[in-house]
């Protein structure tokens, strides 16, 4: 009976050591990964103020995440969100595939900008795809399965080159995605970024017509011009 007890004690010691290490490192590791890898993938500045994950149950939050715009765009950022709730299956952290039970993105501020013939979200997706390589050929790093990802109560704005960084508000429906990576045995963080950017772009392109925006601006300028001309009659 002594051998099984000894094995259990060793296992308990290992688990305790891992949890102690996680308590001091997981927040900083996630924060650094978001900022460093996010910036490398998007070729835009990605920053986050704080990450707090409880090692006992894997629940926590990511605070003040900002994804800037790639070069060539005039608005301040593509996405800014004050709080993201996250629930990690802490038992999977040391495995090849990390299971994230839930990611809830609360009330993000999204800016959809068109410069010439492309948008900021088109360029972000293109940059991530280039970083991943052909068919996601980039190897290494943990894979992820996200059981539930939601984006709720977003504030969306649209802008175009002729607006010089100014924006107009548009309605953006909620987004709900489930079982990301489950069918393929996991996805990389970059592929997750592609999924989220693609889902946002699909909703934004359905909510924003840049042609109507330009026509509205032209009509407004025409009315302003007519009013000015009226002063000199």
CA angle 47, 53, 57 (to 5 degrees): 155
Q: Is the dihedral of CA 131, 108, 162, 46 positive or negative?
A: negative
Burial of 199 (0-12, 13-18, 19+ CB in 10 A): middle
pTM for this prediction: 0.78
Domain region containing 218: 2-230
> In this structure, what are the phi and psi dihedrals at residue 178, rounded to the nearest 5 degrees?
-135, 145
Give the C-alpha separation, 137 to 184, whole Å: 14
pLDDT, one tens digit per residue, over 10-24 is 555 554 444 444 455
Return the H-helix or E-strand segment holding 210. helix 210-230
Q: How many residues in the chain?
A: 233
56-102 pLDDT per residue, tens = 888 999 999 999 999 999 999 999 999 999 999 988 877 889 899 99
Low-confidence ranges of the chain (pLDDT < 50): 15-22, 217-233
Task: Give me the number of domains the chain comprises.
Answer: 1
* Inter-residue contact 108 to 61 (CB < 8 Å): no
């Amino acid at each position: 009976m002594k051998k099984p007890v000894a094995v259990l004690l060793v296992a308990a010691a290992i688990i305790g050591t891992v949890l102690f290490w996680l308590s001091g490192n997981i927040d900083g590791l996630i924060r650094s990964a978001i900022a460093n890898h996010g910036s490398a993938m998007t070729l835009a500045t990605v920053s986050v103020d704080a990450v707090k994950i409880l090692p006992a149950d894997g629940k926590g939050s990511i605070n003040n995440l900002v994804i800037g715009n790639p070069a060539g765009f005039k608005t301040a950022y593509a996405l800014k969100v004050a709080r993201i709730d996250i629930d990690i299956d802490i038992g999977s952290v040391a495995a090849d595939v990390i299971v994230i039970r839930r990611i809830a993105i609360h009330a993000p501020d999204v800016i959809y900008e068109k410069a010439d013939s492309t948008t900021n979200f088109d360029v972000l997706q293109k940059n991530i795809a280039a970083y991943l390589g052909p068919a996601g050929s980039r190897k290494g790093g943990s894979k992820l399965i996200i059981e539930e990802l939601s984006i709720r109560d977003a504030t969306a704005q649209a802008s175009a080159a002729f607006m010089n960084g100014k924006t107009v508000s548009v309605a953006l429906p909620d987004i709900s995605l489930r079982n990301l990576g489950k069918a393929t045995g996991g996805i990389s963080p970059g592929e997750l970024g592609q999924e989220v950017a693609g889902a946002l772009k699909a909703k934004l392109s359905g909510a924003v017509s840049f042609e109507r925006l330009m026509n509205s601006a032209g009509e407004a300028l025409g009315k302003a011009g007519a009013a000015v001309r009226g002063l000199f009659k």
